[in-house]
Structure 1
Amino acid sequence: MAWTPARALTVPLAAVVLLAAACAGSDSNAPAPAPVLAGGEIQLVDEPAASAGLTGDGRADDAPPAATTKPSDTAEPADPAATARPSTPTVQPSTATAPAPAKWVQLSTNKASIGETVTDVTGFTLYRFADDSAEPPTSTCAGECVRSWPPLLIQAGGRVFVDGMKTDDIGAIRRPDGGVQVTIGGWPAYRFAGDTVPGDLNGQGIDNAWFAFAPDGRAIDSLIATAVVKAAPPDRTRTLAARKSKAGPIVVDDDGATIYRFDDDVTDPPTSNCTGACAARWQPVVAASGGKVKLDGIDADRVWWMRRKDGTRQVTLDGSPLYRNVADKSTDTIIASAAAQGWTPAR
């Protein structure tokens, strides 16, 4: 695990970064160095949170141990017979002035319709505000603003896991209310309360001031309407496993990501109605090799598959086609808000 020091508030510690790298040495068997705090604010880890054995979204304790049922192979079955729901989420009023800080945060990249964006571990898009400043890093979103634009907060001394980005671009500031807010390229990071499922971009361009982050901290000012929507590649997995999450039983793939069903699909015969923008955000689950998938804690009689129009074979559970959200990088976590758009965790 590679630890690198972060910027302490508004002052970059580039020299410390170079020193830490030099001290690491070239011995691959040497123990990982102790974490270095950036002025007591955050710790940067140049790896995904899963590499540290962390599950969930950083706001609760780790998920309980996974089930230990022995996996079994399902035989390849015969080929059975083989419009996404529009939604314009509205921001509901909130009495909270700011969300509770997370114990740890993960920043990841996501290939969205407007380009490569930055998301949190659960796949929700992160935005920057034109009225803020990067030199020095300063947040001007407070009071009523944080109800629609919750800042990305972390507990003082918490770890920020950086997945697919440069740690040199990540830092933190102290907000006027005392909270520690993560910054990207010096710009304070926020989520949008109107985004209901991972990968949503409902906050893009609002008031001509809020824009999704590019991985280097730049603002992506592309218009969604002009982007070409491409279907996400299939989620190729070798195993489907039953797990006990803190929110109840779920089914996960090889990466530990929660698998979902779509309410608008048909089970008899199994038919997928996730098309267009829906297909760009939700990957059909297919077997990694041939027509077989291993099952861990799931009755083989419940699992089948259906042939999609592109020729791939999508796995079904009780007749429901299965999907993974393309932006969700969490493990053993249910995105509760996804239910508003018709997505239910497979159980």
Structure 2
Amino acid sequence: MARTPASALTAPLAAVVLFAAACAGNDSSAPPAAPVLAGGEIQLVDAPASTVGLTGDGSADDAAPAATTNPAATAESVAPAATTKSPVPTPPTSDAQASVKWVQLSTNKAPIGETVTDVTGFTLYRFAGDSAEPPASKCTGECAKSWPPVLIQAGGRVFVDGMKTDDIGAIRRPDGGVQVTIGGWPAYRFAGDTVPGDLNGQGADDAWFAFAPDGKAIDALIATAVVKAAQPDRTTTLVAKKGREGSIIVDDDGATTYRFNEDDTDPPASNCKGVCAALWQPVVAKNGGKVTLEGIDEDRVWWLRRKDGTKQVTLDGSPLYRNVADKSTDTIIASAAAQGWTAAR
């Protein structure tokens, strides 16, 4: 994973208007609170999107609606937060990235430390040329093509998984889009990251660094870290699930499983090593037991014994994996195909 230089940055454009985030509690022992409107632009939800039945990446029209994450909440209890400010019109779509209906921010244990990812596992970055006090984005035009801002529709929900909700906010960009902020800093993805967990943007131009969960920049370079293999994805079931992109095979968490084109199938053998092994977890039978199959012909499934003694499940001879940073369900990472990964079906 070499450092990739970013494209030349454009000059700062007009200043953006700050819509600061309202604080919300983060007590993991209590039921998730009802969404809290953050500055009239976003709603903060202290829970993963999956807890309210949302799948995909927030862009699909058929994502399950959910007015609240607290079963005890009523329409009356939610309404005051939703009307604290005048309704904000839906902003025009940014040329850099289409806004989505909801966003999930999650933490991920990466070789450089604990990072922040979106729901599909892609690393989020901050730009040293931006500001946090007041929050403002200076990455526009050509810069935003290389570094797409994390955009959300006005009034959309930001699901916060493993972070403090009071660190999350939103700003209006010069093009009118609503961009998510972490610790006041505008959040971006890097176009050069092709699979979940990639860190190709880390240190680019000595200005782009991955977010830590508290919004600080992680300024360590990948070369200084020891790359460790990811822990196995221990599962008790494999299910053939019918999604928007056809039938896919998912694990206990509903995450898509994948095959690696570089593996051997006769006899089955895993060739995912080094950096590959840090990003992709082998799917193994939990506690060394059997894996229950739902909708999958048992003649297609077997296993291989790994060096650590675990049983990695195989499908038609191909070892199965899950991406370590992917927190989504019913989603296929299309860009992973360029790296030799195919969704198991």
> What is the TM-score with the length of structure 1 in the denominator?
0.82
What does residue 335 of structure 2 align with? 337
What does residue 72 of structure 1 align with? none
What does residue 281 of structure 1 align with? 279
Q: Which has the higher contact order (CA 8 A, sep 6+)?
A: 1
> In the alignment, is the contact (CA less than 8 A) between 2:239 and 2:295 conserved in 1?
yes
Rounded Cα–Cα distance in structure 2 between residues aligned with 1:267 and 1:142: 47
Rounded Cα–Cα distance in structure 2 between residues aligned with 1:108 and 1:27: 19
Q: How does 1:1-347 map to 2 (within 5 A)?
A: 9-11=18-20, 13-14=22-23, 17=24, 35-62=35-62, 97-347=95-345
What does residue 13 of structure 2 align with? none
The C-alpha deviation readout for 1:87-134, integer Å capped at 9, x for no partner, is xxxxxxxxx832110100000000000000000000000000000000
Q: 1:173 to 1:299 in 2, by over 3 A?
A: same
> In the alignment, is the contact (CA less than 8 A) between 2:19 and 2:39 conserved in 1?
no
> In the alignment, is the contact (CA less than 8 A) between 1:121 and 1:328 conserved in 2?
yes
How far did 1:36 drift?
Answer: 3.2
Rounded Cα–Cα distance in structure 2 between residues aligned with 1:344 and 1:315: 15
Q: Give the unaligned 5+ runs of structure 2.
A: 1-16, 65-93
Rounded Cα–Cα distance in structure 2 between residues aligned with 1:237 and 1:275: 21
> In the alignment, is the contact (CA less than 8 A) between 1:303 and 1:315 conserved in 2?
yes
Q: 1:101 to 1:310 in 2, by over 3 A?
A: same
Q: Secondary structure at the match of 1:304?
A: strand
Q: 1:180 to 1:274 in 2, by over 3 A?
A: same
Q: Give the unaligned 5+ runs of structure 1.
A: 1-7, 65-95
Rounded Cα–Cα distance in structure 1 between residues aligned with 2:312 and 2:202: 32
The alignment of Structure 1 onto Structure 2 pairs a total of residues equal to 299
The one-letter amino acid paired with 2:158 is V
How far did 1:162 drift?
Answer: 0.3
> In the alignment, is the contact (CA less than 8 A) between 1:265 and 1:272 conserved in 2?
yes
What does residue 88 of structure 1 align with? none
> In the alignment, is the contact (CA less than 8 A) between 1:97 and 1:144 conserved in 2?
no
Q: Secondary structure at the match of 2:38?
A: coil
Rounded Cα–Cα distance in structure 2 between residues aligned with 1:243 and 1:338: 20
Rounded Cα–Cα distance in structure 2 between residues aligned with 1:325 and 1:33: 29
> In the alignment, is the contact (CA less than 8 A) between 1:54 and 1:62 conserved in 2?
no
After the TM superposition, list the runs of 4 or more consecutive aligned residues in structure 1 that deviate by more than 4 angstroms. none
Rounded Cα–Cα distance in structure 2 between residues aligned with 1:63 and 1:137: 30
Q: Secondary structure at the match of 2:18?
A: coil
What does residue 70 of structure 1 align with? none
Q: Secondary structure at the match of 1:111?
A: strand
> In the alignment, is the contact (CA less than 8 A) between 1:128 and 1:189 conserved in 2?
yes
| Percent identity of paired positions between Structure 1 and Structure 2 | 79
Q: Secondary structure at the match of 1:344?
A: strand
How far did 1:277 drift?
Answer: 0.5
- Aligned-pair RMSD on alpha carbons? 2.0
The one-letter amino acid paired with 1:36 is V
The one-letter amino acid paired with 1:236 is R
Q: 1:34 to 1:313 in 2, by over 3 A?
A: closer
How far did 1:226 drift?
Answer: 1.2
The one-letter amino acid paired with 1:9 is L
Rounded Cα–Cα distance in structure 2 between residues aligned with 1:285 and 1:302: 15
The one-letter amino acid paired with 2:159 is F
The C-alpha deviation readout for 1:46-93, integer Å capped at 9, x for no partner, is 0000001000011113469xxxxxxxxxxxxxxxxxxxxxxxxxxxxx
